[in-house]
Amino acid sequence: MGIMKKIFKKINMPVFAFAQSKMEKDNGNEDANFSKPKTTFKDVAGLEEVKEELVELVDFIKNPDKYKKMGAKIPKGVLFHGPPGTGKTLLAASVAGETNSAFFNTTGSEFVEKYVGVGAKRVRTLFEKARKEAPSIIFIDEIDAIGAKRHLESNNEKDQTLNQLLVEMDGFNKDTNVIIIGATNRLDLLDEALLRPGRFDRHIYIGNPNYYTRCEILKVHTNDKPLDDSVNLEELAKKTHGLSGAHLSNIANEAAIIAVRESKNVINQDHFNQAIERILAGLESKNSKLIEKEKKIVSYHEAGHTLVSNILGINPIQKISIIPRGQALGYVLQLPDEDRFIHTKDELLGKIKILLAGKAAEEIIFDHISTGAKDDLKKVSEITNQMICEYGMSSLGSMTIEGNHKTFLIDKIQSEANSIIRDCYNESINLLKEHMEELHLISNHLYEKETLTNDELKEIIKRVYT
């Protein structure tokens, strides 16, 4: 065992230092490394919903007998997914800290080796050790490195490693108090075998922080730093829309370095501003002015969807957010329409109006349209195409149009689609213009809070009428 490893083991380094302790493993014979982190949920700022979900897991680990008596199965695998730097590793370590478990901090790529059989052997050694030290948490970051879908012309070594992981997970008996937490930025890449019940069957999305959480994260990371009275964390949180917890922690650190460079004893607001600009400059040459502008546009765009949906009363809204998620700059989460397969023409037209309302709001307010509506327009095309060609809901008649017939009618279909979309778009514009006060209100609230629940939305709309 290297000296570094001994040191890390001894002093309970915070989780993020562990990456370095994972070096120099080469033959799979070496003991898997673990620590007993002191990190708890208190060290993770915000993410309340996620922590709530994990409280139950913590209880499982602490009181397995309580669940066994009831015949309940203890979960084996939990999968964290979402963008990088959002605290997935930190959370996994805090589950270990909360339960006083042995924490095995690994990365998928360290199992993937050029020598056949080594990866599988490492997995076996890791699980043996984890069972011996139970209760244990095995954390596998970037699990897609071993867990990506298996292909026909496959990478033999990777597949053997994945197979071994599956074997180990299936081999747990009810008494094994070992939990595996996987993390990935790409849930879509994972092999389905890994996601089956009894394996990684709980998926928890961890997204970029909203305004409130950014305030909390900045507090955590400035706690130990001398701050000037000029420092206003709320204002800094406003300027850092779209950034991750890791970025915020970098900003706090960078600000401290800038203050030292200027030979100051305290960090002031200007140091933070410089740090923000520096971090942003590293990201696709954005600056905070651009971020503000983009945030305004997305606020109006999502407010447009929300308002028209609310006026038409088709699907109830669950949550609205302007925090980017995947490719989307913002989103409106609607309750699914009760698994219904039959839709009336009015409902489908309503859906189209809601989808177009984002673009419509942008046009009304900014007089131009961003590229953010791309996904909406794709869905609109799909629905109109179905209305015309599958449901017979257009002036082309009550028939399905497919194959050669469709090729033959393509111009007519196109002009029919254009007319449906044009009418719906105009209708959305009119609805929004009739409700401008609400549009501004919803958009301003979104801009400030970044996420709104259905209740908060109702509260805002009520204000217009009282």
Ligand X SMILES: Nc1ncnc2c1ncn2[C@@H]1O[C@H](COP(=O)(O)OP(=O)(O)OP(=O)(O)O)[C@@H](O)[C@H]1O
Is residue 249 within the footprint of ligand X (CB under 6 A)?
yes
Binding-residue pattern over the window 3 to 42 for ligand X, x denoting contact by CB under 6 A? -------------x--------------------------
Where residue 106 falls (left for φ over 0; alpha for ψ -120 to 50; beta otherwise) is beta
Residues 329-368 that bind Zn ion (CB under 5 A): 358
User: Has 382 been annotated as catalytic?
Assistant: no
Give 391's contacts (C-beta < 8 A, 6+ positions apart): 345, 348
Contacted by 376, from ligand X, Zn ion, none: CB < 5 to 8 Å by type: Zn ion
47 binds, among Zn ion, ligand X, none (CB under 5 to 8 A by kind): ligand X
Using CA atoms, how far residue 287 sits from 237, 278, 280, 281, 447, in Å, is 15, 9, 6, 6, 18
Contact with ligand X (CB under 6 A) among 74, 134, 246, 377: 246
86 is in an annotated binding site: yes
Count the residues in the chain. Answer: 466
Residues in 361-420 at the binding interface with Zn ion, rule: CB under 5 A: 376
In the complex with ligand X, the residue whose CB is nearer, 254 or 438, is 254
If you write DSSP's letter for every residue of 347-414 in order, what string do you get? HHHHHHHHHHHHHHHHHHHHSS--GGGHHHHHHHHHHHHHHHHTS--STT-SS---HHHHHHHHHHHH
Q: Does 147 show up as a binding residue in the annotation?
A: no
Applying CB under 6 A, the site for ligand X has a residue count of 20
* Residue placing its CB nearer to Zn ion in the complex, 141 or 376: 376
3-state SS assignment for residue 118: helix
| CB 376 within 8 Å of CB 358 | yes
Q: Is residue 304 part of the contact set for Zn ion (CB under 5 A)?
A: no
Q: Is 105 in the site for ligand X (CB under 6 A)?
A: no
Minimum separation from the CB atom of position 327 to Zn ion (A) = 11
Q: Is 301 annotated as a binding residue?
A: yes
What is the pattern of x (binds ligand X, CB under 6 A) and - over residues 327-366? Answer: ----------------------------------------
CB of 85 to ligand X, least distance (A): 5
CB burial class (10 A; 0-12, 13-18, 19+) of residue 379?
A: middle
Contact between 142 and Zn ion per CB under 5 A: no
In the complex, minimum distance from the CB of residue 221 to ligand X, in angstroms, rounded to a whole number: 6
CB contact set of 222 (below 8 Å; sequence gap of 6+): 231, 233, 252, 267
For residue 447, give every residue at least 6 positions away whose Cβ sits within 8 Å of its Cβ, in sequence order, or none. 295, 296, 299, 322
Catalytic residue among 168, 216, 294, 302: 302
Q: Are 205 and 333 in contact (CB under 8 A)?
A: no
82 is in an annotated binding site: yes
Of all residues in the shown chain, the one whose CB is closest to Zn ion is 358
* 97 belongs to the binding site for ligand X (CB under 6 A): no
Q: How, if at all, do strands 136-141 and 102-107 pair?
A: parallel
Is 371 flagged in the annotation as binding? no
Q: Counting contacts by CB under 6 A, is residue 95 touching ligand X?
A: no
Are the C-beta atoms of 441 and 425 separated by less than 8 Å? Answer: no
Name the residues annotated as catalytic: 302
Site residues, Zn ion (CB under 5 A): 358, 376
Site residues, ligand X (CB under 6 A): 16, 44-47, 84-90, 141, 183, 185, 217, 220, 245-246, 249
